[in-house]
Amino acid sequence: MGGLSDAREKAILDSEFSSSVYLRLLTGAAGQEMNDNGTFPAGLSELPTANGYAPRLVSSASWASAVAGNPSIKTVPNPAHSPITFTPSGASWDICGFAFTSDNSTISSSNLLYSGVLVDVVNAPTLYHVGDGTPFSITDQYPIVVRLGDPPAGVNPT
């Protein structure tokens, strides 16, 4: 299959996340993803900026170095910067996905870097219900994984 070399994919991932980015949490149905042009499909949105939610600034130092492969990956947070925690205040949240943006304005095609869905331990899309006052943490043991390149053997991309 043609495409970028693993080394180039690794370089792109390390370059793309070489400065601070904003991590945003999304709400909607399990498995629902942002459109490639940075717009939301019906039923998906960023959590409202009430009830304790605000995007988190993630420094470049929080990322592990990219690992070349099929696909190449980059994870956040690394052990020294774990966990990244959000805590609802005044209401519960239902979280299905995430997005990284280059600035703290609203998500748009001009500042969307990457988005994805949250998965459970068997890698199936899932909806996380986070109760009022209960921390939701992204840790180095259960990181967000950014992928670039060819899917692993046996995967049928859709």
Q: How confident is the model at residue 158 (pLDDT cuts 50, 70, 90)?
A: very low
Rounded to two decimals, the pTM is 0.88
pLDDT tens-place string over residues 17-38? 999 999 999 999 999 999 888 8
Taking CA atoms, 41 is separated from 44, 53, 121, 140, in Å, by 6, 21, 26, 30
Q: What percent of the chain has pLDDT over 70?
A: 93
What is the tens place of the pLDDT at every residue in 80-134? 998 999 999 999 999 999 999 988 878 887 788 999 988 887 888 889 999 999 9
CA–CA distance, 141 with 83 (Å, rounded to integer): 9
Q: For strand 144-148 and strand 72-76, is the pairing parallel, antiparallel, or unpaired?
A: antiparallel
Dihedral angle over CA of 110, 35, 61, 3, nearest 10: -100
